[in-house]
Structure 1
Amino acid sequence: MVLKAELHCHIEGAASPALVEAQAQRYGVDVSSLIRDRSYYWQDFTTFLLAYDRAASLFRTPEDYALLAETHLTGLAQGGAIYAEFFTSPDHAMRAGLSPEAYTEGLTEGIRRARSSTGIEARMIVTGVRHYGVEAVEQAARFAAGCGHPLVTGFGMAGDERVGRPRDFARAFQIAREAGLGITVHAGEFGGADSVEDALNHINPSRIGHGVQAATKPDLLRRIAEEKVVLEVCPVSNVALKLFPNFASHPLPQLRAAGCLVTLNSDDPPHFRTSLAREYEVAAQYLGFDDAALDAVTRTAVEAAFVDEETRTALLARLAKA
């Protein structure tokens, strides 16, 4: 089995339909319009975001989040993952009546349980939600910068790329950068190639979430490769959300051929009927990745991970041993 590592997954979006149905029963909420035939139901990106928020609203206590993180990470480990980062959203926690601190501690407990049972290593990336507005993103950045939690090692921004411009959020990223956090940002999914260029110019991230629309601009691809900005690519979600009609038209091979550093990720796995293991399978079956290329993807992810050097060295040693 090829060992795996993941940098791009939203923890609320990792909740399986079965887990959400159990949470709904616990809280007396009808989710029949959200889940049909044991799968999430949505029609386009806008309704996907609404479905995501509805599912997230059913996690309301630290123990709820501990269970979510433990379940997610245990599943990853069973599929061969040795390392995972996931995006956290204090905004979703607060909307459910939970403080960011309690939310983070609940997730920490889930990480601890999964590490104890499987050996998987994990870290958290606090994210602001761009369609909640500039102040909400800055508030998330202030929490990330000030919480001092050893497993909170990065800051990013997710949400609807069609809302706002990267420069509007530059201050939030500066707050996080000054606190020593790793920086990633969603761009080039629905925002187009210009959103990637604007993110590079105004946010200066070391990683870009998605970034696939950069493939339409050769000069931009050269810049990404030269600056060694790592792309967190999510092929299955890109096809599910109709960015591309099929895997054969996905630009991941083009990104790789241009010299870009790429990783494979599951994004919001049950919403797109995927997993990290399936992303690796898709890369092998449809996108021209052999085992050596997949090993290189995992190494890239570990080298780009927001971890201390001691942890990175230990993870790289596990890869070398395998």
Structure 2
Amino acid sequence: MKTGVKKAELHCHIEGAASPELVKAQAAKYGADVSTFITDDQYVWSDFTEFLAAYDGAAALFRSEDDYASLAQSYLEGIAAENAVYAEIFVSPDHAVAAGLTPEAYFDGLASGIDAARTSTGIECRMTVVGIRHLGVEKVEAAARLAAGRPHPLITGFGMAGEERFGRVADFARAFDIARDAGLGITVHAGELDGADSVRDALDHVRPARIGHGVRAMEDPDLVQRLADEDVVLEVCPGSNLELGIFPDMATHPFDRLHRAGVKVTLNSDDPPHFHSSIGHEYRLAAEAWGYDAVKLTGFTRTAIEAAFVDEPTRAILLGQLD
């Protein structure tokens, strides 16, 4: 793969993008112990439940606007060095409140880091507020109402993350209605740990423009055809799928089969240091597994920008960088 391929990602949880080195620095700052989830400068977990615990442990060490500004800036400058021109980050006001911040301070801190990275590299970024599914319906609806109030102009989307085996998609439909009515772009995690039915339920009850992961749709050919027919974009994260054992290797990963079936797919890093990944690594994995050349890889970037939750003038500028 040529290093000059421009990249974009739509699926990265900002707290999950904190490197172990940065988290250890935060731990030293606040006198915290991270030995239960970081060893030898690597996150340590063995299953999804332990991963969530490591994620939450790291997130708890970002406690001020400056902390979040540093996190956003370091992540964005890092992917800009891999030729990324655009990113969307999932932001969780529930994590901010748990760390003692107001949602407004959280968004302002992240925006400061986004602005600094834009100044230093030219990269664009937007925020998608996510409700945390396993915290329950009321929390997810509260996140939707917060996002719908547009507390910051860089907030352009709403989604739901967390343990997708908790509850039913239909339970959360009202939250998405609130966000959609406010003009926010809609995405939802489905079809990662849970099967094809979770993707179908998301389409039926949430009507998303995009689905986070969605790869388990491959288990149902009719559902794959529906995704293609309805132009729903999948935010695919091959590296994390492999690390979580959803697929054993890239040869069995359905990204290429979904693409050839006409589904719009994009490449994303999810929680990059937890999964030993980055957006550059994801593009390399795909190139090596399926022989994609620079033109093909740039096509996935184009799909991501076309599906991005941005205003049309910004989209035009970003697409222009691909020509």
The TM-score range, normalised by the shorter chain, is: over 0.9
Aligned length: 320
For 1:12, the aligned partner's letter is E
Equivalent of 2:296 in 286, 290, 293:
293
Equivalent of 1:157 in 155, 160, 165:
160
Deviation at 1:108, TM superposition (A): 0.3
**Unpaired segments ≥5 residues, structure 1:** none
Deviation at 1:290, TM superposition (A): 2.0
The residue number in structure 2 matching 1:114 is 117
The residue number in structure 1 matching 2:308 is 305
The residue number in structure 1 matching 2:31 is 28
Q: 1:27-66 residue pairs with structure 2 within 5 A?
A: 27-66=30-69
The residue number in structure 1 matching 2:96 is 93
Equivalent of 2:252 in 249, 261, 271:
249
For 2:268, the aligned partner's letter is N
The residue number in structure 2 matching 1:140 is 143
The residue number in structure 1 matching 2:261 is 258
**Segment of structure 1 superposing worse, 25-34 or 203-212:** 25-34
Equivalent of 1:223 in 219, 222, 226:
226
| TM-score, scaled to structure 2 | 0.98
Equivalent of 1:279 in 268, 272, 282:
282
Deviation at 1:287, TM superposition (A): 3.0
| Structure 1 runs of 4+ with >6 Å offset | none
Deviation at 1:315, TM superposition (A): 0.4
For 1:293, the aligned partner's letter is K
> Following the alignment from structure 2 to structure 1, what is the Cα–Cα distance between the partners of residues 308 and 322?
14
SS in 2 for 1:128: strand
For 1:143, the aligned partner's letter is L
8 Å CA contact retained: 1:145, 1:181: yes
Say whether residues 1:196 and 2:199 are aligned partners. Answer: yes
> Following the alignment from structure 2 to structure 1, what is the Cα–Cα distance between the partners of residues 283 and 150?
34
> Which string of whole-angstrom CA distances, capped at 9 and with x for unpartnered residues, describes residues 108-140 of structure 1?
000000000000000000000000000000000
Deviation at 1:286, TM superposition (A): 1.0
Say whether residues 1:7 and 2:4 are aligned partners. Answer: no
8 Å CA contact retained: 1:74, 1:118: yes
Identity, in percent, stands at 64
> Following the alignment from structure 2 to structure 1, what is the Cα–Cα distance between the partners of residues 290 and 186?
28
Deviation at 1:288, TM superposition (A): 3.5
> Following the alignment from structure 1 to structure 2, what is the Cα–Cα distance between the partners of residues 175 and 289?
40
> Following the alignment from structure 2 to structure 1, what is the Cα–Cα distance between the partners of residues 299 and 278?
19
8 Å CA contact retained: 1:253, 1:288: no
Deviation at 1:300, TM superposition (A): 0.2
> Following the alignment from structure 1 to structure 2, what is the Cα–Cα distance between the partners of residues 287 and 173?
36
Deviation at 1:148, TM superposition (A): 4.1
Say whether residues 1:176 and 2:179 are aligned partners. Answer: yes
Deviation at 1:98, TM superposition (A): 0.5
8 Å CA contact retained: 2:104, 2:151: no
> Following the alignment from structure 1 to structure 2, what is the Cα–Cα distance between the partners of residues 277 and 220?
30
> Which string of whole-angstrom CA distances, capped at 9 and with x for unpartnered residues, describes residues 83-129 of structure 1?
00000000000001111111000000000000000000000000000
> Which string of whole-angstrom CA distances, capped at 9 and with x for unpartnered residues, describes residues 281-300 of structure 1?
00000133222210100000
> Following the alignment from structure 2 to structure 1, what is the Cα–Cα distance between the partners of residues 140 and 217?
24
Say whether residues 1:129 and 2:132 are aligned partners. Answer: yes
SS in 2 for 1:98: coil
> Which string of whole-angstrom CA distances, capped at 9 and with x for unpartnered residues, describes residues 207-230 of structure 1?
000000000100000000000000
8 Å CA contact retained: 1:6, 1:276: yes
Deviation at 1:3, TM superposition (A): 0.2
8 Å CA contact retained: 1:252, 1:287: no
**Segment of structure 1 superposing worse, 202-211 or 284-293:** 284-293
**Unpaired segments ≥5 residues, structure 2:** none
